[in-house]
Structure 1
Amino acid sequence: MDKFINFMEKYFIPYASKIGNQRHLVAIRDAFTVTMPLMILGALAVMFNNLPIPAFQNFMKSIFGGTSWTGFGAAVWNGTFGVLSVFIAFLVAYNLAKGVGKDPIGAGIVSVASFFTLGAATTGMNSSGLFIALIVGILVAEIFTRLVGNEKLVIKMPDGVPPAVATSFASLFPAMITISIFGLVAAIIAAFGVKDMFAAFYTAVQEPFMGLANSYGSALFIAFITPFLWFFGLHGANMIDPFMQAINAPAIAANANALAAGKEAPYIVNKPFIDSFVNMGGTGVTIGLIIAIYLVGRRNKPYMVVNNLAAAPGIFNINEPLMFGLPLVLNPIMFIPFILTPMVCVTTAYFATSFGWVPVATVMPPWVTPPIIGGFLATQSFAGAILAAVNLVISVVIYLPFVSLATRQEMKKEQQA
């Protein structure tokens, strides 16, 4: 194990760190972080409208006389998921421009303008336009920030002009050139007979990508790579978050729309699926580790001190005390269960869902929702809560022998001391 760790520290960690700190990925991750409350609210609005409890549905209909009561949820969805791509187009460009110190507000506004120049007002504002929004945000930031720094494009204002006005005129020509470029792109695409770029792109690229990411193999990879990176001290969740969010929002929206239309939800793998059935207690299903330590690790004083501090945060899926206090980072004894447990849990969750034993996750609870409760909310079913409970038991069983081994080693150290 020591040779493996040394090898990874020498050849893998430097490159993985560079990828994790790559500015475009960081900008995308931070953009989705800002919009996360909106996505949760939108998902809860869909849950409110489609709560699968006949008594609730009948009660609401009896009060409001029909389905008019669903207007609340529809309005909230329109203000969240319905314009998600617009927010992302702005925030990605904003974050990238801010990172290089070049007029982030201007870059964000130009990005939104360029996004609408491509025809987003027709079908691209919701999650179906998410991939194009990411591309537009990145390209606008790269073009605009380079043009803003060009002295030949700056309109010099006389002394005494307010700074806000001077800044606005300094960005005038860069903004005009950038938006015009996207206008030219839109005209060229239209010349090829593409009436709706967003619908065509979604059908050709985004939807197949979501289907590929919806496979068991992708779910298994997500369950593996996140704790694997964490083991070496890299924030695995943050590093794969851009990938997860790129498929997450469209998948949740597609599932919600399918249920609203009385159809079967098409996408199993999404963020609420991973959060509710795999990341219970945090990456590595560490709620199971906390319970295992209380069961067989009471004689391990260092473990118990950390565990007592980590128990309360762990209920809300915060496991940094375990990561760096136990620690789990570079802990050779815990390497196997830390990697294996989420892979086993994602396997049981995926096949339980694909076999129809548990409904597809269609609602995104806040990531701090305690285990089991999160399973119920994500699937709107007690079957989801039962599946989460089963995975919780599995995680405890896997961690038990390794906690016992660590405890025996600690006892030997105390005896030798």
Structure 2
Amino acid sequence: MMMKKFMNFMEQKFVPIAAKIGAQRHLVAIRDSFMVMMPLMILGALAVMINNLPIPFFQNFMNQIFHGEAWKGFGGGIWNATFAILSVCISFLVAYHLANSYGKDGLSAGIVSLASFFALGALNTPDNIAGMSSQGLFVALIVGIVSAEIFTRLSGNKHLVIKMPDGVPPAVAKAFAALLPSMITISLFALVYAIFAGFNMPNIIGSFYEWIQKPFMGLANSYGSALILALITPLLWFFGLHGGNMVEPLMQTLNAPAIEENIRAIQAGQIAPNIVNKPFFDVFVNIGGTGATIGLIIAIFLVGRKSKSMMTVTKLSAAPGVFNINEPLMFGLPIVLNPILFIPFILTPLVLVTTSYWATKFGLVPAATVMPPWVTPPVIGGVLATASWQGGVLAAVNLIISILMYIPFVKLAVREQQKEEGKSINQEA
């Protein structure tokens, strides 16, 4: 009875609000922008992992071959092409996707955002590059959104559009149409920079990082915030909403600076400070997909064989599940709106966050510094993310925990299914 009331309340009050948030154009633009950057971020993290692989034999062997550490220039070059320009790319992509969602010229909006980002002082940092890396990520997101909003609105003003004669090539006409909106938008950001500089604060991005971004990252790095993130995603999924896509903008905004800060700490011979990041969830919590459903698949193979329908769906879902794709299980079993599987689906990630966070906090497992592809199979992902065998052991322990948590509920689901089948047979008779 309580479960029924809870589900009715969530369906009436929570789901409509969550659906609106998930479709909010600014969040969608941020999510899509990070999806475009994902291959570069994975490549950059892997290159840095190779450069700093904690295997003395490997390091000595490479140093002997290259007569020093010149071989690390390969990984350094890749880092310069990925994480070092992350904010620059994001400022362009967010504006591009946002303008497209309004039906405006996304390419022009992206270029204007890029210029606005530099007008705001992206290069005016002590080393001239910090603003372009993940340190400038929050500012890049703000610039991308604000510049796109200004540009798209100015572009819709007929008094600001310079119309060219009919014989002019379309590309030239398009450029002149965007000329005045572009000039105004970029000038506004340059004016903001001049005002801050007038108050003796020329390094806007560095100041923003120290005052806002860094404290926010520290807050998000807590055990409590990890529990909240682990709760929200499966809760949304349970009601049929793609929780991963909805939480992704926040996760990626926190993830890139956290990973880069971890990398810098390890390079300096220090302990990585950020436990909570995207690979932390990918390899230790969401093993097999949201809700640690690889544990559910194995639990069904162990104790759910009496249910032909569950076994059929599980057999079809097993191969994708190994690569952390669990949509077939979500809608085929189903897990969505399944009151019996609701409890382990919600609780298992919370338990796995607890084991993973404190195992890392107490130094039993290194913090994640590498972002493996999200389709990396369980246990292997733990090894890659932490560049250690301890990460693989923790992932294996979490896998066992997830199986044990799902087993009693699979038994209960099979029993209830058999009761329903028995009722149907009696009614037919």
TM-score for both structures, normalised by structure 1: 0.99
In the other structure, the counterpart of 2:307 is: 300
CA positional deviation for 1:320: 0.1
Matches within 5 A, 1:90-129: 90-121=92-123, 122=128, 123-129=130-136
In the other structure, the counterpart of 1:214 is: 221
1:26 aligns with 2:28: yes
SS for the counterpart of 1:208 is helix
Opposite residue 204 of structure 1, the aligned amino acid is W
1:394 aligns with 2:396: no
In the other structure, the counterpart of 2:321 is: 314
1:334 aligns with 2:341: yes
How far apart are the structure 2 equivalents of 1:8 and 1:255? 38
Opposite residue 112 of structure 2, the aligned amino acid is V
Matches within 5 A, 1:165-180: 165-180=172-187
How far apart are the structure 1 equivalents of 2:177 and 2:69? 52
Opposite residue 65 of structure 1, the aligned amino acid is H
Superposed CA RMSD: 0.7
CA positional deviation for 1:156: 1.4
CA positional deviation for 1:263: 1.1
How far apart are the structure 2 equivalents of 1:238 and 1:244? 10
How far apart are the structure 1 equivalents of 2:97 and 2:162? 25
Opposite residue 216 of structure 2, the aligned amino acid is F
In the other structure, the counterpart of 1:249 is: 256
Check the 8 A contact 2:221/2:276 in 1, yes or no.
yes
In the other structure, the counterpart of 1:6 is: 8
1:258 aligns with 2:265: yes
How far apart are the structure 1 equivalents of 2:422 and 2:12? 35
CA positional deviation for 1:414: 2.7
Structure 2 segments unaligned to the other structure (5+ residues): none
Opposite residue 200 of structure 1, the aligned amino acid is S
Opposite residue 333 of structure 2, the aligned amino acid is L
SS for the counterpart of 1:68 is coil
CA positional deviation for 1:195: 2.9
In the other structure, the counterpart of 2:244 is: 237
CA positional deviation for 1:52: 0.5
In the other structure, the counterpart of 2:298 is: 291
How far apart are the structure 2 equivalents of 1:35 and 1:154? 33
User: In the TM superposition, what whole-angstrom CA distance separates every residue of 1:230-287 from its partner, at most 9, and x where no partner exists?
Assistant: 0001111111111111110000000001101111111000001110100100000000
1:155 aligns with 2:162: yes
User: In the TM superposition, what whole-angstrom CA distance separates every residue of 1:133-172 from its partner, at most 9, and x where no partner exists?
Assistant: 0000000010000001111111111111111111100000
In the other structure, the counterpart of 1:193 is: 200
CA positional deviation for 1:197: 1.2
Opposite residue 274 of structure 2, the aligned amino acid is Y
How far apart are the structure 2 equivalents of 1:328 and 1:138? 36
Opposite residue 77 of structure 1, the aligned amino acid is W
SS for the counterpart of 1:120 is coil
In the other structure, the counterpart of 1:132 is: 139
How far apart are the structure 2 equivalents of 1:161 and 1:176? 22
Percent identity between matched residues is: 68
In the other structure, the counterpart of 2:350 is: 343
How far apart are the structure 2 equivalents of 1:394 and 1:150? 59
How far apart are the structure 2 equivalents of 1:22 and 1:314? 29
CA positional deviation for 1:8: 1.1
Greater Cα shift, 121-130 or 134-143:
121-130
In the other structure, the counterpart of 1:37 is: 39
How far apart are the structure 1 equivalents of 2:335 and 2:342? 8
Aligned residues: 417
In the other structure, the counterpart of 1:54 is: 56
SS for the counterpart of 2:266 is helix
How far apart are the structure 1 equivalents of 2:165 and 2:390? 69
CA positional deviation for 1:119: 1.3
Structure 1 segments unaligned to the other structure (5+ residues): none
Check the 8 A contact 2:122/2:136 in 1, yes or no.
yes
Which of 349, 360, 367 is 1:360 aligned to? Answer: 367
How far apart are the structure 2 equivalents of 1:19 and 1:181? 29
SS for the counterpart of 1:233 is coil
Which of 82, 85, 88 is 2:84 aligned to? Answer: 82
